[in-house]
Chain A
Amino acid sequence: MTQPPNQLPELPQWMTEPQTPPPQTAGRTRLHFLRGTMRHIAELFENDLSSEKYARLPLYLQSVDARAKTIAFLFFIVFGSLVNSAPALLSLAAVPLLYASVSGLKLRSFVRRVWGLVPLLAFLFALPGASSLLTQGKPLLIIIPADAPGFSNGLYFSAAGLWSAARIGLRTGISLSFAALLLLTTRWSSLTGGLAAMRVPALLISVLNMAYRYLFVMARTALELMQARFLRSCGKLGTSLNRRFMGHSAAFLFLKSHYLSEEIYSAMCCRGYSGRPAGFQQRKMTANDAVFLFAAALIFLILLAEELLF
């Protein structure tokens, strides 16, 4: 800044002073909670964009009715929670990947999204319980030998124990895979339309649709709140101060949602809203849907055979 201060009368003095970088506090500014929240909100937009991108493709699952997909995938999820044999569970885990590959989804990002974190964590959390501390059996993997001091029985994993932990991870991943597959190959409106056709109350469908739509409006506001705070923060801030900011942000968002709902309601009334949600015009099931359901039934029979034979 080479201009003299008297040419900027409306700016406070501290804004015209040259800025000195804040002292580094152990390499951490303690703003990770803001980064984490912003990352979560950004993921929401990212998910919606990828959903829209894939749901538009004229490929296999995209051309199947939402009702048929919902019923078949729910059935697979329930089946996955009941089966115990390794071949059946491993084959079932492969089913969404196969569906994804013929429906134009990028396999690597699909696998990373589904199997990258939650099933892995589910497996790791189950591991201590799968050890000889809670699940005994024939030792397969010995961690601490039986004669070690303090561990009279030692610590080991049996095959049954390891499989019980792996089964939890697999079941979690299978459920996530089918849910992700449904969302990525179906537009939200078709999905809720399918739910409406399955006799889910219209009021719930209306709430769900509107909540999803305005979620992005609210998320943008929340993101701007976090970004504004992040850009204005430097150095180390007190934890209680940061917590208070998050509390105030929650209250601000609540007020925003309250006023927005009043505006939306007024807009709905202007368009002739009578208090009764309008129904969805669901398209009829086609031969494609029947083929899909028939194939799903055959897949189920293969999986059932694997479960019964092993």
Chain B
Amino acid sequence: MHIPDGYLGPQTTIPAFAVMAPVWGTAFRRTKAVLQKAGVPTLALCSSFSFLVMMFNVPVAGGSSAHAVGAVLIAILLGPWSAVISVSTALLIQALVFGDGGVLAFGVNCFNMAFVMPFSGFLVFKLLRGKSETFGTRGLAAAFAGSYFGLNAAALCAALEFGIQPLLFRGANGAPLYCPYPISVSVPSMMFAHGLVAGPIEGLITVGAIAYLARYAPHFFQQRQSGPNRSEGLLRGYRSLLLPVVVLAVLTPLGLLAAGTAWGEWSAEEIKEQLGFIPQGFAGISDWWHALLPDYSLPALGDGRLGSAAGYLLSAGVGVILIAALILLTSRITAKGTGEPK
């Protein structure tokens, strides 16, 4: 369920950060109020725990194995707000250290696994458990159902995020720019795998862990505090940062309604249409480039597919050589600047 970069457009991934920013802010405020000064080590160790649980390969019938997420387990044990922080931190370390989940997709992954999953799972758990004990039969059944539901809710969100990509982002030739699967494909395929395999596994791991704690550390459930104190004003310091992000997030879909070429990708004809003339410099560069590579193909190989492919590769090669020269030059300047041996 860790979405890598490349499947989702930035118009989806960047607004996800805007959605998550107030969630993270509130989560820090709420957990700080509950855990008091001991908040930092508790959250840090919970994050480490969350990271390791996601590394666990859990056996599945038939000899295969699947990964657990553990977000609902943490939500049941420490509360959903703690789960937001723990799972988000674990996801950030995973994205940087292992490349599990993209850097740009970090906000979306957090939305799915660190927000939707613990909250929806915890809600189902609370509803089904009622006033019973967490480690009683009803409590364990509720934990199973909550974990199953939470994981599937997160999977559904991921499937919808995948599924809207081909609806929103297509190139001029009609080919999808990001994930090619529409909702009619992404939702059934994701829900089938998660409903049948990953969901029950997640539920069984949660139940196994709670049953173990109930047997060997029952005092843990008695010690747990409930009803976090409300405190205010944490987001006030970041209001200046949040407001433009929220405005941008709201305005982002407007670009989808606009007809015409993307900004900066105008052809000479389109510029002439807009301005009434073609700037001399633009016309000069355009002519020079087209003289070098007419129709972006290599003249020696003709204007067929081979020539076109060679032209693209040549252009990429020229770009890479220029970039390599720049990197080499600056690395030498930097080495001289630091006085370090190369």
Contacts from A to B (Cβ < 8 Å): 28, 30, 32-34, 36-37, 40-41, 43-44, 47-48, 58-60, 63-64, 74, 77-78, 80-82, 84, 86-88, 90-91, 94-95, 98-99, 102-103, 114, 118-119, 122, 126, 129-130, 134-137, 158-161, 163-165, 167-172, 174-176, 178-180, 182-183, 191, 199, 201, 203-204, 206-212, 214-215, 217-219, 222, 239, 242-244, 246-255, 257-258, 260-262, 264-265, 268, 273-275, 277, 286-288, 291-292, 294-295, 298-299, 302-303, 305-310
Given the interface contacts A182-B96, A306-B319, does A255 sit within 8 Å of B41 by beta carbon?
Answer: no
A87 lies within 8 A of B180 (CB): no
**Complex: how many Å from CA A255 to CA B49?**
10
- The answer, yes or no, to whether B232 is at the interface (CB within 8 Å) is no
Set of chain B residues within 8 Å of A40, measured between Cβ atoms: 55, 57
B337 lies within 8 A of A114 (CB): no
Which listed residue (B5, B37, B220) contacts A255, Cβ 8 A? B220
Q: How many pairs of A and B residues are in contact by the CB < 8 Å rule?
A: 355
- The answer, yes or no, to whether B59 is at the interface (CB within 8 Å) is yes
Nearest-neighbour CB distance to chain A for B291, whole angstroms, equals 13
A118 lies within 8 A of B99 (CB): yes
| 32-63 of chain B: CB within 8 A of chain A | 32, 36-49, 51-53, 55-61, 63
A302 lies within 8 A of B319 (CB): yes
Nearest-neighbour CB distance to chain A for B209, whole angstroms, equals 4
**Complex: how many Å from CA A308 to CA B59?**
50
Quick one: which of B49, B322, B326 has the most chain A CB within 10 A?
B49
Closest residue on chain A to residue B337 by CB atoms: A288
Nearest-neighbour CB distance to chain B for A193, whole angstroms, equals 15
Which listed residue (A91, A119, A246, A268) contacts B319, Cβ 8 A? A91
Set of chain B residues within 8 Å of A268, measured between Cβ atoms: 40-41
Set of chain A residues within 8 Å of B5, measured between Cβ atoms: 77, 80-81, 171-172, 174-176
B65 lies within 8 A of A84 (CB): no
- The answer, yes or no, to whether B7 is at the interface (CB within 8 Å) is yes
Set of chain A residues within 8 Å of B289, measured between Cβ atoms: 309
Set of chain B residues within 8 Å of A262, measured between Cβ atoms: 38, 41
Set of chain A residues within 8 Å of B323, measured between Cβ atoms: 91, 94-95, 98, 299, 302-303
Top-8 shortest CB links A-B? A247-B208, A129-B180, A171-B6, A210-B44, A175-B5, A58-B340, A251-B212, A91-B319
User: What are 21 A-B contacts with C-beta separation under 8 Å?
Assistant: A44-B97, A60-B331, A63-B334, A84-B177, A86-B312, A94-B324, A99-B327, A122-B7, A201-B28, A208-B92, A246-B58, A247-B208, A248-B209, A254-B73, A255-B213, A255-B216, A255-B220, A261-B45, A287-B337, A306-B315, A308-B265
